[in-house]
Amino acid sequence: MMVDRPDEQGIHQWLDADQFPEHLKKYWFQRHKIWQKYHEGVWMTEDAWFGVTPEPIANKIATHIAESAPKDKTIIIDAFAGVGGNAIAFARSGRWDQVFAVEKDPKTMKCAKHNAEIYDVAKKIVFHTGDCFDIIKRFMGKNNIVIFGSPPWGGTEYNADNVFDLSLMQPYNLDALYKKFSKLSKHIVLYLPRNSDLNQIARYAPESKKVEVAHYCIFGASKALCVYFGDFDFEGEAEEQEGDVTASLEGPLVKR
């Protein structure tokens, strides 16, 4: 058990249901699914509960990227690292020479660093506090990078029954993300709402190339999808079940 308690307002180590904010209660019941080492003293902000990638999904995504990325890609940048859900999984996969975690909010970043210690991978991650679009400029000229991004999904009414219009995603829409990230790497993985408009995504498939989409389900419900831009080579089953997670490949999208 990591006993070090956060000593800054806005950073929490909720170990007791009584102190947990009422409006987040549903996350209290899922806390050990979201973080399997939650009881070891994970730090969170209130906002982080809405965006953190649950550990089993983060692990599945990390495996997918590790297995499908071209072997000459040895660096992964998690551009929106949050409290560390994905960056920790990338570091634990052991696939990467370097894992960079970029997060612009300093309190959220403190949580990510602490959580990486709990998972014993803090030394395997290089943390950068700041704007990912500035920080990735430092990597220009390298051709061994995969960029992963789980951006905020705000902006458009989130309703599973509607198609999510990625042009209205705030503060960065699909077009902005793709244009900025593709200046550094053609290998980009984006974690997006499960009901994202696949036609919009298909428009970014380079000529005669495909874009893979994988859906990730947990707690029996589809949580999100990942879009794989670039030469990711998926060889596995179209649908895989592992513990609580089901991953299914949508099949390649081709530019129309």
Ligand X SMILES: C[S@@+](CC[C@H](N)C(=O)[O-])C[C@H]1O[C@@H](n2cnc3c(N)ncnc32)[C@H](O)[C@@H]1O
**CB nearer to ligand X: pick between 68 and 86:** 86
Min CB(152)–ligand X separation in Å = 5
**CB nearer to ligand X: pick between 84 and 230:** 84
Residues interacting with ligand X, by CB under 6 A?
51-53, 80-86, 102-105, 108, 131-133, 150, 152
Min CB(17)–ligand X separation in Å = 22
Residues in the chain: 256
CA distances (Å), origin 112, targets 73, 87, 88: 24, 9, 8
**CB nearer to ligand X: pick between 37 and 203:** 37
Min CB(249)–ligand X separation in Å = 21
Min CB(144)–ligand X separation in Å = 22
Min CB(223)–ligand X separation in Å = 12
Give the dihedral of Cα atoms 162, 165, 171, 172; nearest 10 deg: 140
